[in-house]
Structure 1
Amino acid sequence: MAIELLDSANVVDTSQACIGTKAAVPTTDVLGRIANLETRLARTASEIDAAQAVRYKVFVEEMKAQVGPEADRRKRDVDSWDAICDHLLVLDTSIEGDAEDQIVGTYRLLRQDVAERSGGFYSSSEFAIDALLARHPTKRFMELGRSCVLPDYRTKRTVELLWQGNWAYALKYGMDAMFGCGSFPGVVPAEHALALSFLHHNIRARDDWAVSARPELHRTMDLMPAEAINAKKALAALPPLIKGYMRLGAMVGDGAVVDHAFRTTDVLIVLPISNISGRYLNYYGADAGRFGGAAS
């Protein structure tokens, strides 16, 4: 699941850029910087622990997700995938203390080659990912998940840095497509009939990119006929992160899955790199250099 706390709606519109460029990213491990905020991968186990504490604050304390007694005792959101993922961080360097004290946002990244050596993707617990991967044997996929930002930092700058970090990471490892769960609040899909139906009729992944919820978990997204959907109202009803992925050029899989532990209704987001809107490539830079230099 991915809690919907990020919004890329404010990213500026610019002219078209070349799609599909795979230039080298900067050699420093800092992937982006805006003023006092920077994004990079976690360097130590203690930084991952601090990111898990941020996730606990957002997912459990704020969003009321259910976790096990040990996680509650430690006040950490932890699962078995944490050990094999890279953890993208946003840090506020103006906060006094160690890096662990500066973490204000996080994203979890998992490359296909790592997943295949280590038990698969998290999303496979809800969606039939294997069929999608099998149709693209020459493409390299990465999974995005566990996105969250502390309340005081849910701003345009933080969101831009998270997208910057994801893009720089994808370039560094030569990724061809991204995917991950996007979430609606609550466990009753019918409460999101307008938004789910809009996604189903308008941006559903098809043909070689088609992917479905696992049959035993599949909940229909086709809750309203296409002619009954008011597109403007549907867009307004979409969670910010899903709306942001849409603007990038993402598609959604067929069927939603109810995650009772996190109290969400999940859809699968699929984003081929070749689909990414030119205006975003131009804004962040085909080489991920937009926020890669000195503070701005």
Structure 2
Amino acid sequence: MRDTLPAGASRPALEMIQEETAILGRIGDLETRLACTSAEIEAAQAVRFNVFAKEMGAVLPPDSMRRGRDIDAFDAVCDHLLVFDRTIVGSSEDQIVGTYRLLRQDVARANDGFYSTSEFAIDDMLARHPEKRFLELGRSCVLPQYRTRRTVELLWQGNWAYSLEHGIDVMFGCASMPGIRPEAHALPLSFLYHNRLATGEWSVSARPELYNNMDLMPKEAVDARSAISALPPLLKGYLRLGAVIGDGAVIDHAFGTTDVMVVLPISKIDKRYLNHYGADASRFAS
């Protein structure tokens, strides 16, 4: 997301725009909305750095390591969904405790495409649905002390409200499991392969040169409850909503993760969750 004001705009003007930005959701002292200043985006990048580099050991480019911010070229064209803890004393930048990066298809087309194409062959899936609008979700992270159900609910509330505003038909993106050995995730990967593999119109695969087999255990050997328990919370949340998973895992050596592709058509979202959040995203709206 670029600044909402032209270059040289004064700080008071930026603060005025920030105050007018719509709150997409609120639970207790936590709020979610889009970033609306460069300072907020930079603060979100610092949160990402703390989680990805400091906590998870990601090896980021030298400039990111020097500046203490997770930065790439997509930041300039994405919208940045933020979660704020309003009990923290300080500016809005000091209150950011979680973030998600959102890239709409029309914006991706006008720039350098989707981030996911570096790992997954998504073009065929997009081509099968020329009438649908896709939204890529990425760079999701939450500070450790805020990894609670209400923070996850607020992030989803923000994504849902954003999708409704922009007429999104399909959400998709990479979801990560820690470590670069797919065999260490044999149980959850095999569960996803046997039970949630995207087929037909939603089929998508890892890029051939990056493809790692997910079918590591026979279906009869997979205990579903144990497999679901082994999945990261974010991935479990997607599955509850009705998401399907692409074929093939990809090792992200820089971030030290094993990635899978998640595809969530809006039409497939479980109605229980639509009722919970509100068909018009009103459940946690201010």
Does TM-score exceed 0.5, indicating one fold? yes
1:211 to 190, 204, 208: 204
1:233 to 212, 215, 226: 226
Give, in whole Å, the separation in 1 of the partners of 2:172 and 2:259.
13
- 1:35, distance to aligned residue in structure 2 (A): 1.6
Deviations 1:71-125 (A, max 9, x none): 1111000011101100000001121211111101000000000001101000010
Paired position in structure 2 for 1:181: 174
Q: Find out whether 1:140 has 2:133 as its counterpart.
A: yes
Q: Find out whether 1:248 has 2:249 as its counterpart.
A: no
Paired position in structure 2 for 1:282: 275
Question: Does the aligned pair in 1 maintain the 2:187–2:217 contact within 8 Å?
Answer: yes
RMSD after superposition:
0.9
Give, in whole Å, the separation in 1 of the partners of 2:61 and 2:103.
23
Question: Does the aligned pair in 1 maintain the 2:161–2:281 contact within 8 Å?
Answer: yes
Give, in whole Å, the separation in 2 of the partners of 1:234 and 1:70.
38
- 1:175, distance to aligned residue in structure 2 (A): 0.2
Q: Find out whether 1:33 has 2:26 as its counterpart.
A: yes
Residue type of the partner of 1:150? Answer: L
1:88 to 64, 77, 81: 81
Give, in whole Å, the separation in 2 of the partners of 1:129 and 1:95.
40
Q: Find out whether 1:162 has 2:165 as its counterpart.
A: no
Give, in whole Å, the separation in 1 of the partners of 2:22 and 2:104.
18
Q: Find out whether 1:63 has 2:56 as its counterpart.
A: yes
Give, in whole Å, the separation in 1 of the partners of 2:228 and 2:144.
23
What is the aligned-residue identity percentage? Answer: 68
1:74 to 46, 49, 67: 67
Question: Does the aligned pair in 1 maintain the 2:132–2:168 contact within 8 Å?
Answer: yes
Paired position in structure 2 for 1:51: 44
TM-score normalised by structure 1 residue count = 0.89
TM-score normalised by structure 2 residue count = 0.92
Paired position in structure 1 for 2:123: 130
Question: Does the aligned pair in 1 maintain the 2:21–2:34 contact within 8 Å?
Answer: no
- 1:220, distance to aligned residue in structure 2 (A): 0.5
Give, in whole Å, the separation in 1 of the partners of 2:104 and 2:220.
39
Question: Does the aligned pair in 1 maintain the 2:21–2:36 contact within 8 Å?
Answer: no
CA 1:68 to 1:28, structure 2 compared with 1: closer, same or farther past 3 Å? closer
- Give the helix-richer structure, 1 or 2: 2
Give, in whole Å, the separation in 2 of the partners of 1:284 and 1:205.
25
Give, in whole Å, the separation in 2 of the partners of 1:184 and 1:202.
18
Residue type of the partner of 1:199? Answer: L
Give, in whole Å, the separation in 2 of the partners of 1:119 and 1:81.
8
- 1:152, distance to aligned residue in structure 2 (A): 1.3
Q: Secondary structure at the residue paired with 2:26?
A: strand
Q: Secondary structure at the residue paired with 2:251?
A: strand
Residue type of the partner of 1:163? Answer: W
- 1:156, distance to aligned residue in structure 2 (A): 1.6
- 1:50, distance to aligned residue in structure 2 (A): 0.2
Deviations 1:103-157 (A, max 9, x none): 0100000000000110100001000011100000000000000001111111121
Deviations 1:28-63 (A, max 9, x none): 611001121100000101100000000000000000
1:266 to 246, 259, 279: 259
Unaligned segments of structure 2, at least 5 residues = 1-19
Give, in whole Å, the separation in 2 of the partners of 1:188 and 1:208.
30
Paired position in structure 1 for 2:109: 116
Residue type of the partner of 1:230? Answer: D
Q: Find out whether 1:223 has 2:212 as its counterpart.
A: no
